[in-house]
Structure 1
Amino acid sequence: MHETIHSFWHMCDPKLPLNVVMSGISYCDKNYRIERHGENLFSFEYIIDGSGVLEINSQTLYPQKNDVYMLTRNSDHVYYSSEEHPWTKIWVVFYGDLAEYLFKRYLPADTYIVKDCNIFSYMNEILNLSSAGHKSYPDLVDEVSVLLLKIVLRLKNHLEHKVLSPAEQIKLCLDVNIENRMDINDVCVQLGYSKNYIIKLFRETYGITPYAYFRKRKIELAQQYLLNTHLTVNEISSKLNFADQHYFASSFKAIVGVSPSEYRKTAKSR
C-alpha cells in the first residue's frame, strides 16, 4: 500500500470557520484499516476504484467504485478495504463551524454514503490545491471551502433526485448555475420552454420572478463568501459573474440593506 498525504495539522487556526486537516490519495491493500472514536473531524472519501466496508454508528455500509462515504464529527467508525479488490480513494479531512453548518443544512442526518455520485473533479482539485506550495493556509482554506460547498450541494441533489415538475426544473437550472452569468433566454434554451411560460409558472409557484430569485440566491452565496472566506469584494463579484463590482455592490445593498464591505465588517465585529 502507498499514500500521498498533505497534512495541515500544524497550521490549523481555531478562529477560522473551517480548517483543512489533511487531504490525500490512498492506494489501499488488504491490510488497510482505520478506526476512530468520537473525534472532532469530518471527511469526504471518494472511491476511485475497489470495494470495502464502513462500520459507522451501528451501520454497516459497503462503499465501492464511484461512491462517496462521509465521516462525521463524534462518530464511532472503522473502515477497511476488501482483500480481493482494495480501494483506491481520494479524501479530505476538515472541521469547524462551517463544516457543521454544511452537514446540518444540506445533508440528511445519519447518512454516511451516497452511491454512484462522481465528485472526482472536485476532490482532485482539492488535492491539487493541497500540493501547491506557494499558497498560504488561509487562501487554501478559502478555496477548499468553496469546493466543499459544491460537493455538499452535489451530494444533496443526488440524494434528492426525482422526477421534477417544470417549475422545479427551472429552479434547479438556476441553482446549479448560481455562479455563472445566466439570463432567462439561457433557461429557455436549456429547458425548451418559452420565456413567458417560464416567468408565469415560476412566479405562480414561488411568488417571485426567475430573475429576482437568481439575483437573491447570488447575494445569499455572496454573504457566505463574505462571512467564511478571505476573498475580496471584487473577487466575490467576479466569482459570481456580476457585470462589475459597482453592480454587485448596488445589488447587494438593495437586498441586504448595507454594502458588502459594511456587511463583512459588521459580521466580524459581533
Structure 2
Amino acid sequence: MREEIYNFWHRSDSKLPLNVVMSGISYCDKNYRIERHGEDMYSFEYIIEGSGVLEINSQTLYPQKNDVYLLTANSDHLYYSSEDHPWVKIWVVFYGDFAAYLFKRYLPADTYLIKDCNILSYMNEIIHISSAGNKSYAELIDECSVMLLKIVLRLKNHLEHKMLSAAEQIKLCLDVNIENKLDMNDVCAQFGYSKNYLIKLFRETYGITPYAYFRKHKIELAKHYLLHTYLNINEISVKLNFADQHYFSSSFRAIVGISPSEYRKSHYRTIK
C-alpha cells in the first residue's frame, strides 16, 4: 500500500465557505479498507485503475476504472479494494457551506456512484494545486473551489446526458462551445480518449472529423451573423474566436467558396 497525501487539517479556517482537508493518490492493496460514520465531510474519489466495493447508506456499489464515487456529509460508509485488482485512485476530501451547496444544488440526492465519467484532468489539477508550496491557504482554497465546481458540473452534465453515446457526447461538447476557442487536446482529456480514437469514433458516427465539424458549424454561425446582424467582419471573427480576421476570412472562403464580405453583399436584400 502506497499513498501520496497532502494534508491541510492544521490550516482549516472556519471563516471560509470551503476547507480542503486533504487530497492524494492511493495505490491500494488487498488490505485497504476505510470505515466512517457521520463525519461532516465530502469526498470525490476517481478510480484510475482497479475495482472494489463501496457500502454507503444501505447501498452497495462497485466502483471500477473510470468511475467516480461520492462520499457525502454525515453518511455511514465502508469501502475497500478488491484483492485481485486493487484500486489506484485519486481523491480530495473537503467540507463547508460551499461544499454542501454544490452537492445540494447540482447533484441528485442519494447518488454515490457515477459510472464511466472521466474527471482525471480536474483531479490532477487539484493535486497540482495541493502540492504547490508557494501558496497561502486562502489561495489554495480559491483555486480548489473552482476545480470542485468544474467537477460537480461535469458530473451533473454526465448524469443528464448519460443516455447519449460517446460520439453524441463529443458532438454536444462541440456544439455548446461553438463560439469558443476549443483545443481538441482538451476535448480528449475531458473524455479520456486518445486523439486518434476520438477522431475515429466521431468519424464513424458522423462521417467527418471533430475538427472539420467544429469549423464547418462555426462558419454556419458566421453566415447567420452576416445575414441577420450588422456586426462587421472583424467583430464576427472575434465573436467566434478565430485567431484573426484573415484566418476567419480564409476559413470562410474555403468552406463557402466566397469571402464573408462577398457573401454578405450577395444576400444584401436579406439583411435590409
With the shorter chain as reference, the TM-score category is 0.5 to 0.7
Structure 1 residues 38-96: Cα deviation after superposition (integer angstroms, max 9, x where no partner): 10000000001000000001110000011110000111100000000000000000001
Residue in 2 that maps onto 1:109: 109
CA 1:77–1:177 in 2, change beyond 3 Å: closer, same or farther?
farther
| AA at the equivalent of 1:13 | D
Q: SS of the counterpart of 2:177?
A: helix
- Unpaired segments of 5 or more residues in structure 2? 183-212, 226-272
Residue in 1 that maps onto 2:137: 137
Paired residues, what number?
Answer: 194
Contact 2:174 / 2:214 at 8 angstroms: preserved in 1? no
| AA at the equivalent of 2:177 | C
Q: SS of the counterpart of 1:102?
A: helix
| AA at the equivalent of 2:134 | H
Residue in 1 that maps onto 2:77: 77
Q: SS of the counterpart of 1:194?
A: helix
CA 1:82–1:170 in 2, change beyond 3 Å: closer, same or farther?
closer
Deviation at 1:107, TM superposition (A): 0.8
Q: SS of the counterpart of 2:79?
A: strand
- Partner Cα distance (1:89, 1:66) in 2: 10
- TM-score for both structures, normalised by structure 1: 0.64
CA 1:136–1:172 in 2, change beyond 3 Å: closer, same or farther?
same
- Partner Cα distance (1:27, 1:170) in 2: 35
- TM-score for both structures, normalised by structure 2: 0.64
Deviation at 1:125, TM superposition (A): 1.0
| AA at the equivalent of 1:93 | V
Q: SS of the counterpart of 1:66?
A: coil
Q: Which of 221, 239, 242 in structure 2 is aligned with 1:195?
A: 221
Deviation at 1:131, TM superposition (A): 1.0
Matched, 1:41 2:37: no
Matched, 1:173 2:177: yes
| AA at the equivalent of 2:78 | V
Contact 1:28 / 1:86 at 8 angstroms: preserved in 2? yes
Contact 2:179 / 2:218 at 8 angstroms: preserved in 1? no
CA 1:43–1:104 in 2, change beyond 3 Å: closer, same or farther?
same
Deviation at 1:12, TM superposition (A): 0.5
Larger Rg: 2
Deviation at 1:127, TM superposition (A): 0.7
- Partner Cα distance (1:29, 1:133) in 2: 30
| AA at the equivalent of 1:28 | C
Q: Identity rate of aligned residues, in percent?
A: 70
Structure 1 residues 172-212: Cα deviation after superposition (integer angstroms, max 9, x where no partner): 4379989xxxxxxxx9847468338978xxxxxxxxxxxxx
Contact 1:188 / 1:194 at 8 angstroms: preserved in 2? no
CA 1:46–1:188 in 2, change beyond 3 Å: closer, same or farther?
closer
CA 1:42–1:195 in 2, change beyond 3 Å: closer, same or farther?
same
- Unpaired segments of 5 or more residues in structure 1? 179-186, 200-270
Q: SS of the counterpart of 1:151?
A: helix
Contact 2:178 / 2:214 at 8 angstroms: preserved in 1? no
Q: SS of the counterpart of 1:85?
A: coil
